[in-house]
Structure 1
Amino acid sequence: MTLLTAKSISKTYREKVAVNHIDLTVKEGQLIAFLGPNGAGKSTTINMLTGLIQTTSGEIRLAGLDPKQKEYHHKIGVVFQNSVLDGQLTVQQNIQNRARMYKNIDLDFENQLIDDFGLTTILDQRYDTLSGGQRRRVDIARALVHQPDLLFLDEPSTGLDIQTRKVIWGTLEKLRETRGLTIILTTHYLEEAEEADFVYVIDHGEVIAHDTVKQLKEDYAQNLLTIESENKDAVLAEIDSSWSVVQEKGSLLIKVPNEHDAIDFLQRVEPLITHFEFRHGNMDDIFMALTGKEIR
């Protein structure tokens, strides 16, 4: 079932167009990833969807609600790039202050969040004394305490170590499975986008591609087979004429349609090669193909 829709939303600042007529559809329980370089319009889009800023034009609806309505904000949780928590308060005080903004808070759920995010031992510490990873875990727990339908995560893992990211994503996946939590994510960590149900690639304020990860890979990411051989001419003679080949010193970089074609080719040239490496197309390839630049 569709949870959130955005129809032709735009945001302009004087003569600058930050977001240009973007359409979005988010279904319940999905993990949606926004990919794009800095300045592409990702955060501006998030800010419109969360009601932090108003659209210049277009329409946003969450379960039939408008961002201007109080009920809209009861259905969402938001974790911004920069924390909005009070550094002088303890972890517990920050979480409780958020909980008091809502009626009928489930204390068992709140305590489970504290446990799952590993916050039990730091509840009495002031927020400004915490490490970056601890702060981020508190930020997310606080955003979830009222059990929102939709969680917005704007670059949640920037600067975090892999252990912290695993704790965060393990807990969020648990909530998706048990409570049907929907997540919209902007990220520079492409391995996080790999796990998304649907991806929107944004550049210059526009959606330049949108699809499942699988389909985006098929459309834009090519598998790469690297061959080392002392007889490159003989290997080249066996390569399908439709395949792209780049020669680099002692290696041949061959773009192949799929792993099955790569296996067939390797079997034919096995006596000629001294080393090979096969790499599936990934999110880096998609990003480079669509934007022509690495994520910054």
Structure 2
Amino acid sequence: MPPQQPPSIKVSSLTYTFPDRSTGVSNISLDLPPRSRTLLIGANGAGKTTLLRLLAGKRLAPRNTISVSGKDPFAEGLDGVTYLGLEWVLNAIVRTDIGVDELLKSVGGDHFPERRDELVSVLDIDTNWRMHAVSDGERRRVQLAMGLVRPWTVLFLDEITVDLDVWSRAQFLGWLRRETESRECTIVYATHILDNLAGWPTHLVHMHLGTVKEWGLADEMLEGLEDRQRVTGNSRLGELVLGWLKNDLKDRGPRSQNRRAPEGKTYSFGGNMAVGGYGQEYRAKLEEER
């Protein structure tokens, strides 16, 4: 078996249509290099979740439109690809009367003790916690440790830091940065929360109504925003994103006139069409659907 290629992400003219024929994403092309940290930016309903799930192999994309580490993530499967999104967050087991040590052991924490202990420290987790008796923010920290304790090469994060306080988020983002600087791995992170992200991304992707309006190196896209930053007190990244979203809202018009599918539209846990439900398509349908 040939060794896996470096963790690059290449997308070529990707269009995805839901079974009800509504459009999820349209004509997307990207080229994200190994060790990059990409922020996926866009208003609610821009298509971020749809794109992330396609990249992670959670949905069947048209042939030859997506390559992650040189492979089709749905057809071939990939070792080391981790996707943390809504269905992972809603996993019922993390709300039961179970201890942190048990949970971390159940996902292989004992096989990676140094990494486990580092995540426990970075996320300020008390291993004596019982999961039914913790806050949402504490529960989210444990979930992050569970999802990341096994070393990954490509990480897709879909707005999973929303319950973290400012300090926890800063520590977590710093840890992610060190990961990409110390080994061959790549991150794509969709978020609306820009705290502590100044200087963090290497690349930015701006999505609007299922398309990528612009993307590129973060430093190049942030050039020339210093004056606006001084006036408002926002970071350059904050000013750039505010400008994008303001223009997107103007271009889109009222949501009642927007005919695109909701971003949360996908498959329910039972495999039926739903709005806001998440589940993995069955690989057995691969050849049939292609």
What TM-score do the two structures reach when normalised by structure 2? 0.71
Equivalence map 1:141-290=2 (5 Å): 141-191=145-195, 193-194=197-198, 195-218=200-223, 221=225, 223-224=227-228, 282-290=236-244
Q: Contact (CA 8 Å) 2:57, 2:77: kept in 1 or not?
A: no
Identify unmatched segments of 5+ residues in structure 1: 227-276
Match for residue 49 of structure 2?
A: 43
Q: Displacement, 1:207?
A: 0.5
Q: Displacement, 1:2?
A: 5.7
Match for residue 107 of structure 1?
A: 113
1:26 maps to a residue whose letter is L
Which of 99, 104, 109 aligns to 1:90? It is 99
Equivalent-residue separation in structure 2 for 1:59 and 1:225 (angstroms): 38
The structure whose RCO (Cα within 8 Å, separation 6+) is larger is: 2
The SS at the match of 2:15 is: strand
Equivalent-residue separation in structure 2 for 1:115 and 1:215 (angstroms): 35
Q: Contact (CA 8 Å) 2:123, 2:168: kept in 1 or not?
A: no
Distance 1:138 1:289, change over 3 A: same
Q: Displacement, 1:293?
A: 4.8
2:107 maps to a residue whose letter is R
Which of 68, 71, 74 aligns to 1:65? It is 71
Identify unmatched segments of 5+ residues in structure 2: 1-5, 250-290
Distance 1:22 1:192, change over 3 A: farther
Match for residue 82 of structure 2?
A: 77
Distance 1:166 1:32, change over 3 A: same
Q: Contact (CA 8 Å) 1:222, 1:280: kept in 2 or not?
A: no
1:12 equivalent in alignment to 2:32 = no
- As a proportion of its length, which structure holds more strand? 1
Equivalent-residue separation in structure 1 for 2:165 and 2:38 (angstroms): 22
Q: Percent identity?
A: 21
Q: Displacement, 1:53?
A: 1.8
Equivalent-residue separation in structure 2 for 1:161 and 1:200 (angstroms): 25
Distance 1:3 1:105, change over 3 A: farther
What TM-score do the two structures reach when normalised by structure 1? 0.69
Aligned length: 237
Q: Contact (CA 8 Å) 1:21, 1:58: kept in 2 or not?
A: no
Equivalent-residue separation in structure 2 for 1:70 and 1:124 (angstroms): 40
1:144 maps to a residue whose letter is L
Q: Contact (CA 8 Å) 2:54, 2:60: kept in 1 or not?
A: yes
Equivalent-residue separation in structure 2 for 1:174 and 1:159 (angstroms): 22
Q: Contact (CA 8 Å) 1:217, 1:281: kept in 2 or not?
A: no
Q: Displacement, 1:279?
A: 5.9
Deviations 1:221-254 (A, max 9, x none): 472499xxxxxxxxxxxxxxxxxxxxxxxxxxxx
1:25 maps to a residue whose letter is D
Equivalent-residue separation in structure 2 for 1:193 and 1:163 (angstroms): 12
The SS at the match of 1:168 is: helix
Task: Look at both structures and tell me which one has the larger radius of gyration over its CA atoms.
Answer: 1
The SS at the match of 1:24 is: strand
Match for residue 143 of structure 2?
A: 139
2:129 maps to a residue whose letter is Q
1:27 equivalent in alignment to 2:33 = yes
1:27 maps to a residue whose letter is P
